[in-house]
Amino acid sequence: MTPYHQAIILVALRYENWNPSDSKLHKLREELIEGCRAGMPIEKANRWLGYIQGVLIERGITTVEEERDWTRPLFRPLDFPGDALPAIDLSKAYHPMELQPAYTSAFDDPGEVSPAVSSNS
């Protein structure tokens, strides 16, 4: 799995406690995570992530600014390796709806972060 795939998984895991009654969007999120683990083309993963983020923004669960500010430290160093940005402290990353820590460390294996994502998906 590439660092870009890992970053996309971390962003997708941020949304694990959203409105689970929207089973189609929840399933798309799970498929995105599994696709990244299996090596889904980055372009496709980015489109899926963008769609999910767009729906969440449209529903008022998050904002463009929150997503930009949260994801920039994950993706900018991958897109522009020479640029120095402060690393994101994922221990302080909160789910937008619950204000609960969503992860523990930037070095966690994304496959072990969320017990809600089963390997049977």
Decide if pLDDT at 71 tops 70.
yes
Note whether 18 and 59 are within 8 A (CB). no
What is the domain partition of the chain in residue ranges? Answer: 3-113
Decide if pLDDT at 72 tops 70.
yes
pTM for the model: 0.65
Residue 118, Cβ density class (10 Å: 0-12 exposed, 13-18 middle, ≥19 buried): exposed
Decide if pLDDT at 103 tops 50.
no
The set of residues, in sequence order, having a beta carbon less than 8 Å from that of 113 and lying 6+ positions away, is: 10, 13, 103, 104
pLDDT of residue 116: 42
Looking up tokens 């204000």 gives 99
C-alpha 93/C-alpha 99 separation (Å) is: 9
C-alpha 86/C-alpha 109 separation (Å) is: 21
For 32-70, write each residue's pLDDT tens digit. Answer: 999 999 999 999 999 999 999 999 899 888 899 999 998
Note whether 91 and 98 are within 8 A (CB). no
